[in-house]
Amino acid sequence: MTQDDANPLPDALRLTSPAPLVDIGANLTHESFAKDLDAVLERAHAAQVATLILTGTDMAHSEQAVALAHRHDGLYATAGLHPHMASHWDASMETAMRALHADPKVVAVGECGLDFNRNFSTPAEQERALEAQLGLAADSDLPLFLHERDAGPRMREILHHWRDEIGAVVVHCFTADRETLHGYLDLDVHIGLTGWLCDERRGHHLREIVGDIPAERLMVETDCPYLLPRNLPAKLKGRRHEPALLPWIVREIAHWRGESEATLAGATTATARRFFQLDEEQ
């Protein structure tokens, strides 16, 4: 049995983007990718998704993401602590994260932020870890890769306070409302969109506001293996999302923005390359 047989992407799900894409949020250190990562990367290449930012969500996964990025061209990493794990933040982790941020393959501080939806760490612990990582972003001159769920007003207050010290910021997997969106845009924040708006049930409101995001502030991501888009024309065994499926998300976003897939692909890729300061040398 080949790897493709073990985890097939049916022909009906193979869609090649008309222009190169950057997946700014791929959790490729997730255990579900351990067995067939090379095949996953090949399929991503074939779909014109050759540049991936691997999300670091804690110390171990950040280190793994950096190691993976060193093994493959076109892969980069973020390094940070997710708000779910914020209770683990301490001085030794801060020192280790600071060292990781000096690695040339690390292109952002994060994933960090606030998640008041689930509160796996207390809000106070989340704010403490976020503030510390805002400080690391300020010190390193790296952009910030933020996670925010049900915490828009507090996040905006904190960002407002830090705005002059930190550089570029993206709120990844944006799912909130128009007021929150415009609050972020007013703070010069970039927006990362996943396949959330491919979901008729819970992404409906996003379809109405996605056109408000200026092209130079918009980037796209799978957040794989999570958030498999619901607009796929065939069933996927195992329901594991992967970077090769990003063109389906771009197709949906382009539709609701009233622009071509090629235009959206070109714009989001230019924005991502500028945001993460990607150069071909790394």
Least spacing, CB of residue 253 vs Zn ion, in Å: 18
Q: Return the range that interacts with Zn ion (CB under 5 A); candidates 14-22, 145-153, 195-203, 208-216.
A: 145-153
Q: What is the CA radius of gyration of the chain?
A: 18
Least spacing, CB of residue 233 vs Zn ion, in Å: 27
Give the count of residues interacting with Zn ion (CB under 5 A). 1
Least spacing, CB of residue 276 vs Zn ion, in Å: 17
Q: What is the DSSP letter of 48?
A: T
Residues 190-209 as x/- pattern, contact with Zn ion by CB under 5 A: --------------------
The C-alpha atoms of residue 219 and residue 132 are separated, in whole angstroms, by 25
Concatenating the DSSP letter of every residue in 99-160 gives HHHTSTTEEEEEEEEEETTT-SS-HHHHHHHHHHHHHHHHHHT--EEEEEES-HHHHHHHHH
In the complex with Zn ion, the residue whose CB is nearer, 80 or 183, is: 80
In the complex with Zn ion, the residue whose CB is nearer, 147 or 156, is: 147
Least spacing, CB of residue 63 vs Zn ion, in Å: 19
Q: Return the range that interacts with Zn ion (CB under 5 A); candidates 84-92, 100-108, 142-150, 234-242.
A: 142-150
**Position closest to Zn ion via CB:** 147
The C-alpha atoms of residue 250 and residue 261 are separated, in whole angstroms, by 6
In the complex with Zn ion, the residue whose CB is nearer, 83 or 247, is: 83
Q: Return the range that interacts with Zn ion (CB under 5 A); candidates 43-51, 144-152, 241-249, 268-276.
A: 144-152
Which of 43, 147, 190, 241 is the binder for Zn ion (CB under 5 A)?
147
Q: What is the DSSP letter of 277?
A: T
Q: Return the range that interacts with Zn ion (CB under 5 A); candidates 35-43, 140-148, 158-166, 213-221.
A: 140-148
The kind and range of the H/E element at 162 are helix 152-162
Question: Does residue 241 bind Zn ion (CB under 5 A)?
Answer: no
Q: Return the range that interacts with Zn ion (CB under 5 A); candidates 96-104, 141-149, 232-240, 271-279.
A: 141-149
The C-alpha atoms of residue 217 and residue 268 are separated, in whole angstroms, by 8
- What residues form DSSP beta bridges with 145? 110, 170
Least spacing, CB of residue 256 vs Zn ion, in Å: 22
Residue 278 phi/psi, 5° resolution?
-80, 135
Angstrom distances, CA of residue 66 to CA of 29, 99, 122, 250: 10, 12, 28, 27
Interacting residues toward Zn ion by CB under 5 A: 147
